Chains A and B, each alone.
Chain A
Amino acid sequence: MRPELQNFKGFNLKNLPEFDGFAPGHRACQGCGTVLPLKLALKVLGPNTIAVSATGCMEIISSPFPYTSWRIPWIHVAFENSASVASGIESAIKVLKKKGKISKKEKINIVVFAGDGATFDIGLQFLSGALERGHDFIYICLDNEAYMNTGVQRSGATPFGAHTTTSPSGKVIKGNVTWKKNIMGIVVAHNIPYAATANPAYPIDLMNKVKKASLIKGPTFIHVFSPCPTGWGCKSEDSILIAKLAVETRIFPLYEVIDGKYIINKLVGHISAKKDLLGKYGEYVLKKKVSPKKPVEEYLKLQRRFRHLTPEQIEFIQKKVDEEYEKLVKLSQIFGIEEE
């Protein structure tokens, strides 16, 4: 276990922080599944936090001059470079502390909020550089699976088959032809101390992960599934339901990677490998309550972006989702399981 986490006790409904770093009155859409995790994260991080936003929905809805939703120091510079801006802030605070210009006792969290486009695509190099250099900051990717702010264009995070304005469901090509980029794999390959996936349908889990990320020294990354009623063509009241289904169908598994060791927070469905082949993971499965797996169709059918999918495409998605999930299980088997 990381020494920073030794005294970590998770949140529960009785000990939620009162701090609200993000003022109401912002201009997010109804049912926005992106602003919700952002708000929860700021609650955890508290007032001693500096936030950097990449250009995107959250930046636009929060800062139409002369209004601002940010009750903490906040900066937006450009679309792709928020990890570099955070690197600069972190280095500044570090040296100013050394020089006695900022109190050494003061713990200042530095957090980046960036969308999937800003993380998976245009900002990947900047993210990689900042992770590799080991700056002490938290990078939260709010992934709504397309360029929503510019009108729902496809990104590297757009799932297979999804209709976007640049991967339309045409007569010949039906939606996005590629599988979602494995950003967690890329991030974990940088050997950072902490990476996790989170989801606003599991708010306590999400808050705990943000807390862990803030406690751990060095670069940490949280990939947050962020439903977008506007871009996905779903009812605004279904955001959380869809987020929950993403986990229950194995489409967006909840897991953490601490020092390279995998923890699957919520095991879903039967693991196809034989128990004795699973080794240590077999014991883990036995101890854990495994939730039943729901078919991907339940998730897909609530969203207009998937409505053109043929039964063959849905079958393909089901197969691939299960394959990816089992890959994750194998990773946790190979690389061991971090004691919770």
Chain B
Amino acid sequence: MKKKLIREVSLEEAKALKIRKKVAKEVSVAIADAVAQCKVDVISAYPITPQTHIVEYLSELVNNGELESEYIPVESEHAAMSACIGASAAGARTFTATSSQGLLFMYEVLFIASALRLPIVMVIANRSISAPISIWNDHSDVMTMRDSGWIQFFAENGQEAVDLIYHSYRIAEKSLFPVAINIDGFILTHVIEPVEFLDQELVDKYVPHLKMNYKLDPKKPVTMGAIGVPEIYTEAKKAQDEAFNSSYKIIINAWKEFEKLTGKRYQPVEIYKMEDAEVALVIMGSLTETAMNAVDLLRDEGKKVGLLRLRLWRPFPLRDFIKAIGKVKAIGVVDRAVSHGATGGPVGIEVRSALYQSNKRPKIVNFIAGLSGRDVTVEDFIELFERTYHAIKTKPTFSYKIYGVKE
């Protein structure tokens, strides 16, 4: 029987605490503040644009004595994740943040962090990957770690990014899996937003002290990172996979608990005007707010369009997704990364695969848009909706299309 690592907070307790106050902050700074509220023990990070503000601010908090943490200014992202692994294995709450090439440089150890079941929390300020080198936003970086066994969220705005920090520590430490919070580089990281923080008292209840049952402790020696010979490797992976899929419940429970505390409701798939929608776009991250405007405009014209946003990307919320699509006739999946030579963008492939065994079989078109910070405007979304409408009546002639390419 597994010990309960986190104490449940009752509704009465929550009500007794004041929770509402908004402050205008750059989202990166707000994220750092939320991390500090979670009383992180070890921060280990390497600078890369557009993630830098988060860790700069954290180091400021540490050096000003406002946050009791060890800040390790490592010499690379690979070392950043490696140090998080070491610190987490020793029983510390850890944090790192990265982007783009940095994420790719730590790629090897991402898989090890999850297989060693270490509750590391990382923010990825999403940025395109080289070549050509570009610092602007898309989802090419994080899509490479799709299969790494990290729980992965996509935030739509700064408030959500802050809330996801609280959620992530609770979820990571209960599920013993690392969590990546994706926020769009520049579009979110460098924008000033009114943000509401939880009161410290509430954070302490929602994210209590970390107590790991297995850690590097001379009083109770354990061997971590042993060899998995062929006789055991499959079983080890099966165990990891089962545990990873069951983290879904932990995520849902963490969000239910958060709702009790704050009244704010979080779910794996967010929907917008989907009740009677015929056509929907599937989208992730900050573009959603632009797409909502397009939905409103098209609804004014009487077109039954809606939006689906994946907040939870891994584990993929299959049932929520199938439920959320309602009775749409066509889905346009907006990917923000290219999967060269594949049958679609990463999200497109996932959506097609998710629906294959379902009774619902809407037409699916897959767009790749907004690469490297290319604007996707309200007009563009109207165009994407129209193209998706068009797909209802036609046979799809392409597996995916890179949208908005200059002729």
**In the complex, which residue of chain A has the Cβ closest to the Cβ of B108?**
A78
Within 8 A of B (CB), among A59-92: 59-60, 63-66, 68, 70-78, 80-81, 84-92
The answer to the question of A48 belonging to the interface, with a C-beta cut-off of 8 Å to chain B, is yes
- Asked if B84 is an interface residue, CB under 8 A from chain A, the answer is yes
The answer to whether A91 touches B79 (Cβ under 8 A) is no
Q: Which of B18-26, B220-228, B316-324, B338-346 contacts A (4 or more CB under 8 A)?
A: B220-228
Q: Given A72-B218, A92-B90, A96-B90: A84 and B224 within 8 A (CB)?
A: no
Q: How far is the CA of A50 from the CA of B84 in the complex (A)?
A: 16
A133 at the interface (CB under 8 A from B): yes
Rounded to whole Å, the gap between the CB of B116 and the closest CB of chain A is 8
Chain B residues within an 8 Å CB radius of A89: 86-87, 89-90, 216
- Point out the residues of chain A lying under 8 angstroms from B271, CB to CB: none
Distance from B130 Cβ to chain A, minimum over Cβ atoms (Å):
20
User: Nearest-CB distance from B211 to chain A (Å)?
Assistant: 9
A47 within 8 A of B: yes
User: Known: A77-B112, A88-B72, A128-B75. Contact between A65 and B226, CB under 8 A?
Assistant: yes
List of A residues within 8 angstroms of B78 by Cβ: 80-81, 84, 126
Choice from B74, B89, B91 contacting A87 with Cβ under 8 Å: B74
Q: Please, which residues of chain B bring their CB within 8 A of the CB of A129?
A: 74-76, 79
Indicate if A337 sits at the interface (CB-CB under 8 A). Answer: no
Residue numbers in A under 8 Å from B221 (CB-CB): 47, 70-74
Please tell me if the beta carbons of A73 and B222 are within 8 angstroms of each other in the complex: yes
Q: B92's contact among A73, A84, A92, by CB below 8 Å, is which?
A: A92
Of B220, B227, B232, which is in contact with the most chain A CB atoms at under 10 Å from its CB? B227
Decide if A78 touches B109 in the complex (CB within 8 Å).
yes
With A and B bound together, what is the CA distance between A93 and B92 in angstroms? 8
Q: Is the CB of A99 within 8 A of B70?
A: no
Least CB distance from A112 to B in Å reads 10
**Are B74's CB and A50's CB within 8 A?**
no
Q: Which of A68, A96, A99 interacts with B223 by CB under 8 Å? A: A68
CB pair B85 A88 closer than 8 Å: yes
Contact B70 A91 (CB under 8 A): yes
| Interface residue B217 (Cβ < 8 Å from any Cβ of A) | yes
Q: Per-residue CB proximity of B65-77 to A under 8 Å, as 1/0? A: 0001110111110
Most B CB within 10 A of own CB, among A65, A75, A84, A86: A84
B189 close to chain A: CB less than 8 A: no
B193 at the A interface (CB under 8 A): no
Q: A70-B221, A74-B224 are in contact. Are A88 and B68 (CB under 8 A)?
A: no
Could you say which residues of chain A place their CB within 8 Å of the CB of B209?
101
Task: Contact check, B85 vs A92: say whether CB atoms are below 8 A apart.
Answer: no
In the assembled complex, the Cα of A87 lies from the Cα of B73 at a distance in Å of 10
Interface residue? A201 (CB, 8 A): no
| Number of residues on chain B facing chain A (CB within 8 A) | 47
Q: Which of B70, B91, B215, B220 has the most CB of A within 10 A?
A: B70
B56 lies within 8 A of chain A by Cβ: no
B109 touches A77 (CB 8 A): yes
Closest B residue to A61 using CB positions = B227
B83 touches A84 (CB 8 A): yes
A73–B85 Cα gap in the complex (Å)?
15
With contact pairs A74-B224, A76-B225 given, residues A91 and B74 touching in the complex (Cβ less than 8 Å): no
Are A86 and B90 CB-contacts (below 8 A) given A64-B226, A76-B224, A91-B42? no
- Contact flags (1/0) for B49-77 with A, using CB distance below 8 Å? 00000000000000000001110111110
A265 interface residue (CB < 8 Å to B):
no
Q: Closest approach, in angstroms, between the C-beta of B402 and any C-beta of chain A?
A: 36
Contact present for A133 and B229 (CB under 8 Å): no
| Residue contact B109 to A94, C-beta cutoff 8 Å | no
Q: Interface 1/0s, chain A 296-320, versus B by CB < 8 A?
A: 0000000000000000000000000
B270 within 8 A of A: no
Supply 13 A–B pairs (Cβ within 8 Å), ascending by A.
Answer: A63-B223, A63-B225, A64-B229, A72-B218, A73-B224, A87-B86, A88-B44, A92-B90, A92-B94, A99-B68, A125-B76, A125-B79, A132-B75
With A64-B229, A78-B82 given, name 18 new contacts (CB 8 A).
A64-B226, A68-B223, A74-B216, A75-B86, A76-B225, A77-B86, A77-B109, A77-B225, A81-B79, A81-B109, A85-B82, A88-B88, A88-B89, A90-B86, A91-B44, A91-B72, A95-B70, A133-B73
Measured CB to CB, the residues of A under 8 A from B are 47-50, 52, 59-60, 63-66, 68, 70-78, 80-81, 84-96, 98-99, 101, 108, 125-126, 128-129, 132-133
